[in-house]
Amino acid sequence: MKATENLLRRSDFFSILSDEDLQKIAPHFESVEYSKDTVILKENTVADRLFVIQAGSVEIWKNYGTDKAARLAIQTTGHIFGEMALIDDEPRSATVLAAEDSSFLYMHKQTFIDLSEEYPSIMLAVLRALSRMIRTSNDSFIKSLSRQNTELQHALDDLRTTQKELIRSERFSNLGKLSSLIIHDLRNPLSVIKGYGEMLQVLNDQPEQVQDYSRKIVQEAERLNQFAEELLDYSRGELRLRWVFTSLPMIFQKVQQYLEKSLQNKNIEFSISHEGNEPFYVDEGRLIRAIVNLCDNARKAMPRGGTLSIHGQVDEENISISIEDNGLGMDKDVLAHIFEPFYSSSQGGGTGLGMVSVKTIIEAHRGVVQINSRVNKGTTVSLVIPRTQVLPE
């Protein structure tokens, strides 16, 4: 019995008991041995015994034998398990497995109840021991949670650092693509401007030719300006809208002036119409640029000519503008990438930022861009912007 008392005294659970109480309960423990890998207690089975490890060790498992199995702990000589069986009627909360050939002391639940009725001090001491174990478990849980929170914070900091590095790397990658596009797209209008400028130097006596060449120089300069605006908007990442009070007739008049130049001699039948003259607040310059971009895409999609129409409508809630063509159209793969920077399916050149610019401008107005396209049938792009805007103070 002395060996049993000494073993119980080493246990956190029974160490709180007096020598007198230990002497009372020690004779009621029985011995048992289990070989390695034997299941001693099984999760969700009836809890009817408390165990004390006499020699050897055990593993505590949750969801043992399933693909969600998790080993919670390893316990060695002097530790107890199954203690909750003494005070409640709940099933086992975990599975206990012999980690090696081991021997144990155990007591039946009913035996403990009988002893507690005869010696109330034992029950009181056991409840105190359980309370202490729960407090220790809570402290351990809080420390573990704090440690995990610290680890998660470090992981989050690492992720943010990695994200910044990835963004920086992506920007360098985009810068390489952008440099190539800039060289290609600047070369054409600069060559045109240079050529017409040289011709102007020798055409002082031909005013009509001078006027025509001057108009073309202005047109190419406007292309360069639009190109620069797209690059600036993309580099900033967000737009600072310049709100003005305008209307569809005013916007469409300026759009038509832009398009008349680019649609000349392209065999494209162009029409523009609107419903509603009510004024509204938008960034007129950028909205015009979005419409012109879409019309330029439509022109490139009709290399042999076709029809291009713009229709606008203003109602109480929205400003709706649709750009429709009967050109080549786009398949699902092209549509899936249409708003990606530097992506272009056109053979007519461009920065690959046109649709990015359109989407950015419309979303800055809290609006949406909708695209409906069929291969060899044409494309309709709809811009819908709320008529009521929240203007900066």
DSSP symbols for 167-179: HHHHHHHHHHHHH
Per DSSP, helices labelled H in 201-244 are 207-236
Tell whether the torsion through CA atoms of 94, 100, 105 and 111 is positive or negative.
positive
pLDDT tens for 328-386 read 999 999 999 888 877 777 665 555 677 888 998 999 999 999 999 999 999 999 999 99
pLDDT tens for 53-100 read 999 999 999 999 898 888 888 989 888 888 777 777 788 888 999 999
Give the number of C-alpha atoms closer than 13 A to the C-alpha of residue 386, restricted to the C-beta side. 9
CATH code of 216's domain? 1.10.287
pLDDT at position 347: 60
Quick one: 272 and 378 in the same domain? yes
The Cα 386–Cα 4 span in angstroms is 82
In a domain, 126, yes or no: no
Quick one: 205 and 325 in the same domain? no
pLDDT at position 219: 66
In a domain, 350, yes or no: yes
The Cα 195–Cα 204 span in angstroms is 16
Domain boundary among 52, 84, 118: 118
Quick one: 38 and 85 in the same domain? yes
Quick one: 21 and 59 in the same domain? yes
pLDDT > 90 fraction of the chain, expressed in percent and rounded: 32
CATH code of 65's domain? 2.60.120.10
Quick one: 260 and 382 in the same domain? yes
Domain boundary among 211, 236, 261: 236
Quick one: 173 and 293 in the same domain? no
Q: What is the mean pLDDT of residues 99-105?
A: 93
In a domain, 151, yes or no: no
In a domain, 147, yes or no: no
Distances (CA, A) of 262 to 85, 157, 325: 87, 51, 15
Contacts (Cβ under 8 Å, ≥6 apart) of 184: 349
Query: Around Cβ 47, how many Cβ atoms within 10 Å?
Result: 19
pLDDT at position 55: 92
List the one residue out of 106, 100, 122, 118 whose CA is nearest residue 36.
100
Token representation of residue 62 = 């949750």
CATH code of 382's domain? 3.30.565.10
The Cα 307–Cα 331 span in angstroms is 20
Q: What is the DSSP letter of 48?
A: -
Give the number of C-alpha atoms closer than 13 A to the C-alpha of residue 175, restricted to the C-beta side. 6
Contacts (Cβ under 8 Å, ≥6 apart) of 371: 330, 335, 338, 379, 380, 381, 382
In a domain, 50, yes or no: yes
Token representation of residue 348 = 């007519």
The residue ranking higher by pLDDT, 174 or 221, is 221
Quick one: 215 and 289 in the same domain? no
Token representation of residue 195 = 């050529």
Quick one: 89 and 171 in the same domain? no
Which residues, listed in sequence order, are joined to residue 103 by a DSSP beta bridge?
A: 33, 55
Work out whether strand 39-41 and strand 95-98 pair parallel, antiparallel, or are unpaired.
antiparallel
The Cα 151–Cα 52 span in angstroms is 35
pLDDT at position 201: 65
pLDDT at position 91: 86
b (16+ CB within 10 A) / e for 200-236: eeeeeeeeeeeeebeeebebbeebeebbeebbebbee
The Cα 95–Cα 76 span in angstroms is 16
Backbone angles phi, psi at 366, to 5 degrees: 65, 30
pLDDT tens for 201-238 read 666 667 777 777 777 777 677 767 766 666 666 666 66
Domain boundary among 185, 217, 236: 236
Domain that holds residue 172: 164-236
